[in-house]
Amino acid sequence: MILEHFKRKKYKPVEAINIQADMLTKCPECGSMILKNDVSKSFKICPSCDKYLKMTAKERIKSLLDSALLNILKKRKLEILLIFQNIKISRIFSEKLLEMMKQ
C-alpha cells in the first residue's frame, strides 16, 4: 500500500501544438516570443520586460476611447464626411466669388 504511493505515474504523451508564425511577435528589447493575442490584451506591453511595443493609429484610438464612443463615431462617420465636404465646397465657392469680384 505504501509502495503504491511512491510509484511513478505514467502520463500520456501530449500531442504537439502547432503554432503558426503569424500568431507570434518578437519583443525588440528582450527578444522573447509572445503570442499576439497576449500582447493585444496587455495593450502592447511585453509581459517579460514591460517594454512598450509599437501601436498603429487605429489601435491607439481603440485603447483610448471606450466601445460606446467608437460605435457612435462609426455611425456618424458619414455625417462627418459630408460636413467636411460641404466645408471644402463652400471654400471653393467663396474663392471663386472673390476672383470674380476682383475682375
Question: Do residues 13 and 36 lie in contact, with contact meaning Cβ atoms separated by under 8 Å?
Answer: no
Question: Do residues 34 and 47 lie in contact, with contact meaning Cβ atoms separated by under 8 Å?
Answer: yes
- What one-letter code names the amino acid at 43? F
Q: Write the pLDDT tens digit of every residue in 5-64.
A: 777 778 887 777 777 778 888 888 888 888 888 888 888 889 889 899 888 888 887 787
More confident residue, 66 or 38: 38
Q: Which residues pair with 25 in a beta bridge?
A: 34
Question: Do residues 30 and 49 lie in contact, with contact meaning Cβ atoms separated by under 8 Å?
Answer: yes
For residues 37, 39, 40 and 43, what is the CA-based torsion angle, rounded to 10 degrees? 160
